[in-house]
Amino acid sequence: MGRKSIADQRRLEIIQAFYRCVVSHGFSQSSIRKVAKEAGVMPSTLHHYFLDRDEMISQTVEYFTELISSGFVPEKTWAADDEIRLSEGLGYIFSPAMINPEVTGFFLECCVEARHNPKVRASVAKLFQRFRENILAHMGSISPFKHLNDVEKKGLASMIIAIHEGTELQWFADPDAVCLEDAMDLTKLLIKKM
C-alpha cells in the first residue's frame, strides 16, 4: 500500500513538472529531458511511469482539468438564491483562477497539440465535457436553466464555455482590451434574458 502511494506521488510530481514545462516552453519544447530535470528524476524514470509521451500529455490534461474543476463551489455550499448561485458560477468561470497566463497558456498549447494528435484531442474533448458538467451541476437547477430541456441546457452550457473561451483568447492577446468582470456581467445578462 505504501509503495502504491509513493508511486502515485511520483507520477503526480512528473505530471506537475510536465505541466510547468509546457507552460514555460510549450509542448514542442517540453522534451523528456526537460521534464525529467524539472521533476528532479532521470529521464528513464518517466518511461517507468508512462508508456509514452502521449500518455503523459493525456494525464497532464486530466490533471489540468481537475485543477480548473476544483475551483467550482462545492455542492454543500451552494447558495439557495438563483442570482447568487449564477454569480458564483460565472464569477469563477471569468476569474483569474480560470483566465491567467499559466492556465490560458497551457490550454492554448493543448489546442495546438490537439490539432495533429487525436489522443490529445480526445483529452481536450473530455476537458470540455467536464467543464459543461460543472456548469450544469452548479447552475442547472436555477433560472433560466431549469426551464430548459436537457439538450437546451447542454447547449447553454456550451454557449457559456464559448463566451469564456473567446474572452480568454482575447484577454491572452491583449489583456488591457478585455475586462473579465464586464464579460461576466454581460454573460449573466444574456443568460437572464433567456
Q: Is residue 132 a contact partner of residue 161, using CB atoms and an 8 Å limit? A: yes
State residue 3's pLDDT score: 60
Per residue in 64-80, pLDDT tens? 998 888 887 666 677 78
C-alpha cell at 74: 462545492
State residue 90's pLDDT score: 93
CATH code for the structural domain at 53-192: 1.10.357.10
Look-up: residue for cell 483568447?
169
1-50: CATH class: mainly alpha
State residue 77's pLDDT score: 73
Q: Is residue 22 a contact partner of residue 106, using CB atoms and an 8 Å limit? A: yes
Q: Which residues of the chain have pLDDT under 50?
A: 1
Instruction: Using alpha carbons, select from 191, 193, 194 the residue that is nearest to residue 94.
Output: 191
Q: Where are the domains of the chain?
A: 1-50, 53-192
pTM for the complete prediction? 0.87
State residue 11's pLDDT score: 92
DSSP character string of 107-123: HHHHHHHHTT-HHHHHH
Measuring CA to CA, how many Å separate 128 from each of 86, 121, 161? Answer: 19, 11, 8
C-alpha cell at 97: 483562477
State residue 125's pLDDT score: 95
State residue 143's pLDDT score: 82
C-alpha cell at 170: 482575447
State residue 2's pLDDT score: 54
C-alpha cell at 180: 473579465
State residue 94's pLDDT score: 96
State residue 98's pLDDT score: 93
State residue 52's pLDDT score: 87
Q: How far apart (Å, rounded) are the C-alpha atoms in residues 15 and 67?
A: 12
Measuring CA to CA, how many Å separate 136 from each of 58, 86, 155, 158, 163? Answer: 24, 11, 10, 10, 16
